[in-house]
Amino acid sequence: MESRREISAIDPVLKLIQELNKLPGIGIKTAQRLAFHLIKIPNDSVSLANAIIEMTNSIKTCIICQNITDISPCKICNNPSRNNKTICVVEEPLDVLAIERTGSYSGLYHVLNGCISPTNGIGPDELTIKLLLERLRLASENPNNTVEEIILATNSNLEGEATSMYLQHLMQPFKYKITRIARGLPTGAELEYADEATITKAMEGRYTL
């Protein structure tokens, strides 16, 4: 038992396995497999390690939209060709990526870093809501204000809807146009399997052809 403990303390491979094991979705077996794979490809391992170090050192939050970025303000906020009339409010940085992937939105963003989830102890104060309000207040006081519309693009589950409703109440004094992204059937979905709430929303949001 004593000798085993000694090995785990000195063995760099075991240390790596422990570190990999901390990542989401990586169990002890996968961590072992990854560690032994990295031993086989020393060059790639070094570039991976460097990439991680570089990422950790250079990552920060954009002072305007609160997205993660390497330069602040971020590339989206700094891009003059983007439409600065709309701000799209999303929960996570990954949601920005998802919307950017479509190429159908050219406005600006605001990242909340989560959603209101009372059962997990996350209330409005844990999110970047105050910073969003400050941003809107500054914009409305600015004579060259360009912002016209706020798009609420939080998830369409109970927590996302609660966050959206809360923001809508908070932003009413600003007199901006507040919109909520549409809800309905995803592409390729079958009506048969949809829940009532989705079908109701899909019916409400129908359009003339």
Partner 1 sequence: MINDKINNRYYKTTGMILKHSPIGEADRLLTVYTANMGKLKLVAKGVRRTKSKLGGHLDLLNHSQLEVSRGRNLDTISSALSINSFQLLRENLRKTADAFYCLDLVDSLTPENEPDHNIFLNLVETLEKMLHIENPLIIWHFSFKLLYLTGYLPELYNCGNCQIKIQPNKHAFNSILGGIVCENCSIKLENNLQTHNNSLPISINTIKILRYFKTHTLDNIISLNVEQSVVLEIQKALLSHITASVERNLKSTLFLNHISKFISKME
> Cβ 35 to partner 1, closest distance in Å?
21
97 touching partner 1, by CB under 8 A = no
Minimum distance, C-beta of residue 152 to partner 1, in the bound complex (Å) = 13
- Which structure tokens are listed for 175? 């007199």
- Considering only the stretches 55-63, 127-135, 141-149, 196-204, report the one whose residues sit in contact with partner 1 under the rule CB under 8 A: 196-204
In whole angstroms, give the CA distance from residue 48 to residue 208. 52
Cα–Cα distance measured from residue 108 to residue 3, given in angstroms and rounded to the nearest whole number:
58
- Name the nearest CA neighbour of 108 among 141, 137, 139, 150: 150
Sign of CA dihedral 153, 159, 164, 167: negative
- Minimum Å gap between C-beta 208 and partner 1 is 25
For 111, counting Cβ atoms within 10 Å of its Cβ (0-12 exposed, 13-18 middle, 19+ buried), the class is: buried
Query: Looking at beta carbons only, is 120 or 142 nearer to partner 1?
Result: 120
* Shorter beta-carbon distance to partner 1: residue 45 or 198: 198
Q: Quote the least distance from Cβ 105 to partner 1, whole Å.
A: 17
What is 16-41 written as a DSSP string? HHHHHHTSTT--HHHHHHHHHHHHH-
Site string (124-153) toward partner 1, x via CB under 8 A:
x-----------------------------
Binding site for partner 1 (CB under 8 A): 25, 116, 118-121, 123-124, 157-159, 161-162, 165-166, 169, 186, 188-189, 193-198, 200
